[in-house]
A and B are shown apart, each in its own frame.
Chain A
């Protein structure tokens, strides 16, 4: 992507020095921002975990060693909330990776007319603010909302009480999340358009049917896009909590089923202003995300194919 040929460190000419100085000046705003809002806070988060910072400063600041980590290991609520996040992730990740891909394949199919209009309509909810989206779906998922009414009409006598049932609230949140898939659909469509048609022609000549063309041409060619959406989805899902925060006001209702890890973290630092313990939770979240991401990178060698054309 940035294939700058590596040049030997010859002494720079005056022109080159001037160019470097200009370039550096132009990117300086980002470097300052990166240091101020990313790098230093990241290190600070780590440092905080060994201190006893609360916003109210009820105790004098001191080094507490591993106390915060000890507290974390004994904190049942933290691990229970991590489990809530994990359960949601297990249901959400396959949806967020596969569904935009499948919808893009369908919109792109030569048997479907009006692909341009479909693309626009599927992407549209992406611009709906998620607070609004959550409230719109709340109206859809209540007991006499359209979903349950439709289910009753097709013969389901007792449709799920999506927002009041600890079991059904997780699939309910997945449904609410569907409106965020628009950009994934567009990215997948762009990827599909980039697959050279001669690959499909060759597959057809070999007598490959629809399924085998999907399995042996489309999916391998799309694997970088699928991988990219997967990594972003992992980072996002680990931090998930805003939709239930809006719908249940941070109560964790129904029955603690929406007490997500990040909700617990948010309440620790924001409601209780325990900056150090909150940082310990944040650090745990970061390490888990990093480990999962690295694992996916490791596994990606087996299934992600980068074409050498670029």
Chain B
């Protein structure tokens, strides 16, 4: 083999292996989609097909019967089971019903139904009603929007302060800010919860929303890094025109830093959408106020017997973040890159 061909073979092999890894990595999404469209009966049946299916039915004398694959004299025939028995059962051949009931010896429970493709879209509408999806969706969107507003406002102001102004203690304060990334939330949780309980905030959205207006390390860091790349001459030009710091922020920095602000909006929206622990702790016992993730976890506890419902509900809660990701994957990737590395 010439080196040229050897290289091509290597490229082909490595690429195939990597895409194989990705297919395996994403396979759970495929199983979720297929399971969400199955019937409860199909899921409980061993050796049922991969795709959502129902047993084929046959109407005989006004009654609907399931069609089974029945081995008869060395061939497999598709027969409708009309009379169930322990040791022998009665079947009718849909092709020649006039021949009447055929008696077959053996246990019908060991037979496979004759499956036909039948995605059960109604699982989605069932779940929509069972978990009161519109209410959960409204709560989630409202919490995510208000929380994102708070985060963007506060983090922009704080990042601007750290990026553009010299003041005593700025260095240590910024280090302290970054250090909070590494602080386990557990160590602040209990007194915070106790205080929120004492002032009557537990059972309301306030504990989820109020803290967002006080900035957080990740987003301040991301924005500050971006603000630092904007040339100072632009601020100074605005200052000469008589703009105060707030107007400079609004008319110079924010328009320039739009990509970073967009990243913060997206990250925070998805983060809030996906958050489970905070709403679980502060909104337990208030199903009317809970967001999707809390509702979904509770739904999982109630409907363990029907995995199709669980998976349909899951699909309904991931649709928005996944769509946002598909539309804005560049912003997501760049955002992670700028917070993760420059440290």
Residues of A within 8 A of B (CB): 1-2, 4, 16, 19-34, 36-38, 40-42, 44-45, 48, 53, 55, 103, 106-107, 109, 111-114, 118-125, 127-132, 135-140, 142, 144-146, 178-179, 183, 186-187, 189-191, 194, 224-225, 228, 231-232, 235, 238-239, 242, 246, 249, 262, 265, 269-270, 275, 278-279, 282-283, 285-286, 289, 293
Does B201 count as interface, using CB distance less than 8 angstroms?
no
- Roughly how many angstroms separate A40 CA and B287 CA in the complex, as a whole number? 31
**Contacting pair B182 A232 (CB below 8 A):** yes
Min CB distance A215 to B, Å, is 20
Are B160 and A187 closer than 8 Å at their CB atoms? no
Q: Indicate if the CB atoms of B186 and A119 lie closer than 8 Å.
A: no
Asked if B187 is at the interface of the complex by the 8 Å CB criterion, the answer is: yes
Q: Give the 7 A-B CB pairs with smallest separation, nearest first.
A: A33-B214, A23-B165, A26-B161, A187-B340, A44-B191, A129-B274, A20-B167
Q: A124-B325, A136-B29 are in contact. Are A30 and B220 (CB under 8 A)?
A: yes
Say yes or no: A130-B154 contact (C-beta < 8 A), given A145-B31, A190-B341. Answer: no
Q: Given the known A-B contacts A22-B245, A34-B176, A285-B186, are A146 and B31 also in contact in the complex, defined by CB atoms under 8 Å?
A: yes
Q: Could you tell me which B residues sit within 8 Å of A by CB distance?
A: 7, 10-11, 14-15, 18-19, 21-22, 25-29, 31-32, 35, 46, 154, 157-158, 160-162, 164-168, 170-171, 173-177, 180-194, 197, 211, 213-215, 220, 245, 270, 273-274, 276-277, 281, 292-293, 296-297, 300-301, 307, 310-311, 314, 317-318, 321-322, 324-325, 329, 332-333, 336-337, 340-343
What are 6 sample pairs from A and B whose C-beta atoms fall under 8 A apart? Answer: A2-B174, A4-B166, A26-B161, A26-B245, A127-B274, A187-B337
Most B CB contacts (10 A, CB to CB) among A25, A37, A55, A224 go to A37
A128, closest chain B residue (CB):
B318
Given the contacts A37-B214, A190-B341, A265-B186, A127 and B161 also touching, CB distance less than 8 Å: no
Q: For residue B168, which residues in chain A have a CB less than 8 angstroms away from its CB? A: 20
**Within 8 Å CB of B274, what residues of A?**
127-131
Given contacts A26-B158, A55-B194, 10 further A-B contacts (CB under 8 A): A2-B170, A27-B158, A106-B14, A112-B11, A123-B336, A135-B300, A228-B340, A232-B181, A246-B300, A293-B182
User: For the complex, would chain B's binding face be called helix, strand, loop or mixed by DSSP majority?
Assistant: helix
Is there contact, CB below 8 Å, between A129 and B276? Answer: yes
Which residues of chain B have C-beta atoms less than 8 A from A138's C-beta? 310
Please tell me which one of the listed residues B167, B245, B321, B340 contacts residue A127 in the complex, with CB atoms under 8 A apart: B321
- A189 contacts which chain B residues (CB < 8 A)? 337
State the CA gap A128–B340 with chains docked (Å).
20
Contact of A132 with B214 in the complex, beta carbons under 8 Å: no
In the bound complex, residues from chain B placing their C-beta under 8 Å from that of A103 are 21
A2 proximity list for chain B (CB < 8 A): 170-171, 174-175
Closest A residue, CB atoms, query B245: A22
Docked CA distance A111–B293 (Å): 41
Partner among B19, B28, B32 whose Cβ is within 8 Å of the Cβ of A114: B19
With known contacts A23-B170, A111-B14, A194-B341, A135–B311 Cβ distance under 8 A: yes
A11 to B207, CA, bound (A): 43
- A157, chain B: closest CB distance, angstroms: 16
